[in-house]
Every structure is written in structure tokens, then in C-alpha cells.
Structure 1
């Protein structure tokens, strides 16, 4: 079917193409918005930061301090065993791992520090270079 010359009405094919393009743009914009980090997630992380602890566990002094440690791994939380830093990392699901127990996750840095003491079996932490 051809349009008479001078008609400004779009063809069915053009209308479908414009609609499909608009829907695609709308869907892609929604996906991009959902994937973009929000300021709320960062604020929630600050509220989820575990409290400090300082205790003796199986004869070893373990300490945990918010705002300490490596920001890019531990999310700003430091853990020490007998004054030596235990490198820790917070996973995306909120659990914690360390260089001592790298394949086992823990709900809190305190639980992680206690497990590291058990795993060390009296050995000293060696600094990572």
C-alpha cells in the first residue's frame, strides 16, 4: 500500500519502528537506573558497620575498630590479633573473610578474629608485603 503524495501520516512500519525504539530506550533507561549505585546504599553501609571490640580469646588479644584498616578491602574496619593487623575484607553480602580464613565467611569481624585465632594455633601473624 502506498501513501498518496503529500500525506504526512506515517506508515504502519514507521509507527512500529518508532514505538519499538521508544520502548527499547525506556527499558534501557530503567536497567541503567537500577544498576546505578545510589547514595542510600553507601549510607546503609555506614549504619551496618560492626561495633568495636577488644577482648582476650584463647589467650590472644583480638581487637576490632571501625574506621581503621584498609578502606578498599575491609570497608574501613580494622582487626588486630596481638597488635598485628589481620587483613579482612567485607563481601557484597555483608559477610567477612580474612587472609587466614579466605574460603570461609563470617557474620562479624569478631567471629572472624576468633576463627583466625583458632586457625593460627598459636602462630604469630606475619605482615603482608
Structure 2
């Protein structure tokens, strides 16, 4: 897919799944769409829980869905929420994204504003799988 069409498709899918979010406590619905290296798209929405720590963010939901289907190589992730600015992944999501390497990340809002970044820009000097291979 050409980049502009890819981003439009990712935004469309993320906005659709955002509507399925379970956010009765924050009322802050988030959607994410993840593009694999071979062109598949996986989506996820945030799912809150009365025990807040058990909530799951949209980004991790999309990544875990892809991983459960055997996917490990990602090309891009788009995250969308309502608001004036764009929404960015939390620290936990950034670390999970980093586990699967470097890829593009699009931060968006429901009005169509989009910012492009990369995993390494969101989580500089990150701890990753290669750190476990180092001898100390």
C-alpha cells in the first residue's frame, strides 16, 4: 500500500474499533491499528476494569492480538482518540512496542490530525531483548 492510503486505512480501522472500547470509568475511548510487515492489519481498543491496573490499552490489545496469530514483525501502528491534540502511548505500551523492534507510529485524533514518529523516538535508550544477551 502507498503510505498515504496505508495511513488512511489504519486511521479508519482504529476509529472503527475505538467505538467498541470499554471505558466506563475514564470515558476516554482509544483505538489502535497495527500493520504487519506482510500487510495484515490487527486492531485493538482499550478495555478498562474497576481494578484500574487490570485495564488494557488499545495499543497492547492490537499487538497481543497480532502475536496470538503468530505475527512478530510490524511496519506501523496508529493510535487514535478524541481531543484537540493527538494521543500518545503510555509507557507500558511503548515498552511492549519496543519488544518487537523499530517501526513507524502514528499518533492521531478523531478529527484526522496525525503525527508520525518511531518507536525509538517514543522510548529512547530502551531496554530490549538484545540487552538480555549482553554479558555483564
The TM-score bracket by the shorter chain reads: under 0.3
Structure whose alpha-carbon radius of gyration is higher = 1
Give the TM-score normalised by the residue count of structure 1. 0.26
